[in-house]
Chain A
Amino acid sequence: AQSVAQPEDQVNVAEGNPLTVKCTYSVSGNPYLFWYVQYPNRGLQFLLKYITGDNLVKGSYGFEAEFNKSQTSFHLKKPSALVSDSALYFCAVRDPYGNNRLAFGKGNQVVVIP
C-alpha cells in the first residue's frame, strides 16, 4: 500500500529564511503527490501537486516542491518564509489503482519566528 513519511514533527524557521518541509513516499506505480496546508480551526487547503512532467512544481502562496524519483522524495520549499506561513503541512500520495484515496503523512508543524 502507498504511504508517505514526514520525518520531522516541527520545523522552526526565522522569517525571511528558506523553508523546507520534508516528505518521502512509497508507492507502486506512478506517484501522484500532493501538499496541503491546514491553518488553525480550518480545513485542509490544496497547495500543489505532482502528476507528471517537470520535477519542480510551483503552487499557491509562493510554495514549490521538488520531485526526486531516485530518492522517492517530494520536499516542499519556500525561498523566504513569512510569519503567516505558520501552519500544519501534510504530504499525501494518491492510491494509484483508481480509488482516489489519499494516504497522508502525520503532518509537520511549521513555526516561523518573527
Chain B
Amino acid sequence: EAQVTQNPRYLITVTGKKLTVTCSQNMNHEYMSWYRQDPGLGLRQIYYSMNVEVTDKGDVPEGYKVSRKEKRNFPLILESPSPNQTSLYFCASSPHEEGAYEQYFGPGTRLTVT
C-alpha cells in the first residue's frame, strides 16, 4: 500500500530533551515536507526537500532541523524542544512531475512539550 508513515504518533516530552520524529514514504517521491498544524492557523510548512541532500526552510523553521540522506526518509529533529513547539505535525510527499502536484500526508504526530 502506497503510504507515508510517521513515528511516533503521540509524544509527550520535557523542555530541552532532543527528539526525532521519523517520516518514511514508499512511493519513490522526490519531494517531501514537514508541516505543523495549530488551531486557527491551518498548516504551516517547516522544512522541505526537493530531493536527496537538498533541503530548505519553509515558513516556520526556527527550532527544527531536517536531513534527507535517503529518498524515502525525511526525519524532523527538535534539538531543544520548547512548549511553543507543542503541535500536530504532518509529513507529506509528492512526485516532482508536471501537473502531479498533490501531496500525500502521513497520519500525524501529536507532540506535547511540557
**0/1 string, B79-114, CB within 8 A of A gives 1:** 000000000001010101001011111111000000
Select B107's contact among A36, A43, A101, A104, beta carbons within 8 Å.
Answer: A43
In the complex, how many residues of chain A place their beta carbon closer than 8 angstroms to a beta carbon of chain B? 22
| B101 lies within 8 A of A100 (CB) | yes
Tell which of A12-20, A44-52, A68-76, A79-87 binds the partner.
A44-52
Measured between beta carbons, the chain A residues less than 8 angstroms from B103 are: 46, 100, 102
Q: Are A42 and B101 in contact (CB under 8 A)?
A: no
Q: For this complex, into which size category does the number of interface residues on chain B fall?
A: 20 to 34
Q: Which residues of B contact A49 (CB under 8 A)?
A: 101-102
How would you classify the secondary structure of chain B's contact residues: helix, strand, loop or mixed?
strand
B residues within 8 A CB of A44?
A: 43, 90, 92, 105
Residue numbers in B under 8 Å from A100 (CB-CB) = 31, 33, 48, 50, 94, 96, 101, 103
Q: Is the CB of B101 within 8 A of A101?
A: no
One digit per residue, 1 when the CB lies within 8 angstroms of any chain B CB and 0 when it does not, for chain A 27-49 equals 00000101010000111111001
4 tightest Cβ-Cβ pairs between the two chains A and B = A104-B42, A43-B105, A44-B105, A104-B43
Seen from chain A, the residues whose Cβ lies within 8 Å of a Cβ on chain B are 32, 34, 36, 41-46, 49, 51, 90, 92, 94, 99-102, 104-107
18 contacts between A and B (CB under 8 A): A41-B108, A42-B107, A43-B4, A43-B105, A43-B107, A43-B108, A44-B43, A90-B42, A92-B43, A94-B101, A100-B33, A100-B103, A101-B48, A101-B58, A101-B59, A102-B43, A102-B45, A105-B42
Known: A44-B90, A46-B104, A100-B50; 20 extra A-B contacts, CB below 8 A, are A32-B101, A34-B101, A41-B108, A43-B4, A43-B106, A43-B107, A43-B108, A44-B43, A46-B103, A49-B101, A49-B102, A51-B99, A94-B101, A100-B31, A100-B33, A100-B96, A101-B33, A101-B58, A101-B59, A105-B42
